[in-house]
Structure 1
Amino acid sequence: MNLRDQIEEVLKTVYDPEIPVNIWELGLIYEVKINDDNRVAITMTLTAPGCPVAGDIVREVDEKVKAIEGVSDCDVTLTFDPAWNKEMMSEEAKLELGFM
């Protein structure tokens, strides 16, 4: 499994505590960049700007990605542009949450 696949797999283990779907399937991960030195930059959002567990989710993403063998460092950037909406969810997430 290549590094990008490993990062995707670990992101699928991070959940918004209020929603029983992982942040990858929710569409909260906007971008994953891997530099030549295996420094990872992740741009992500949250389901709402006032999310009370925002810090916890960002910290969990940072810690889990840094723990992947071969990753030299991780920078997580939180953005609300574009704002998240339920159309960004995977089909699997929509089914699980009853949006289909």
Structure 2
Amino acid sequence: MDEAKQLSPAEVSVMQALEMVIDPELGIDLVNLGLIYGVHVDGDSCEVDMTLTTMGCPLSNALDAAIIQVVTAVEGIEHCDIKLIWEPAWNMGMMTRYAKVALGIHE
């Protein structure tokens, strides 16, 4: 996620909510996996910019449903759109230290 942009309080709440969405294959949340590229809150709507570990990920529909559920549970957010982004392509270097340790990846 682009750290240069200061997140609003609502966007911080959305990011915290997204930490509850676990990738079923890896057992780590989407934020720590580095799959969330950005969140944008405008009034009662939120757009989540994200990617997947691979194109054609069979879990994308399940992840979409979970994302919409947790985002719209954030106070003041009524609508959630998910924008899939493929550039830059996801790689293991985008994971947080927490995710790497949890997955046993040593740098």
TM-score normalised by the chain length of structure 1: 0.90
Tell me what 2:11 maps to.
4
Tell me what 1:64 maps to.
70
Structure 1 segments (4+ residues) deviating >3 Å = none
TM-score normalised by the chain length of structure 2: 0.84
Which of 91, 98, 101 is equivalent to 1:92?
98
Counterparts of 2:51 and 2:33, CA distance in 1: 10
Q: Deviations over 1:14-63 (max 9, x none)?
A: 0111001100000000011111x131111101111121111110121012
For residue 99 of structure 1, report the CA deviation from its aligned partner.
1.2
Which of 24, 30, 38 is equivalent to 1:17?
24
* Identical positions, percent: 36
Counterparts of 1:10 and 1:34, CA distance in 2: 13
How many pairs align?
98
Q: Deviations over 1:55-75 (max 9, x none)?
A: 110121012101211113111
Counterparts of 1:63 and 1:39, CA distance in 2: 13
Q: Say whether residues 1:73 and 2:79 are aligned partners.
A: yes
Counterparts of 1:72 and 1:16, CA distance in 2: 24
Which of 13, 29, 34 is equivalent to 2:36?
29
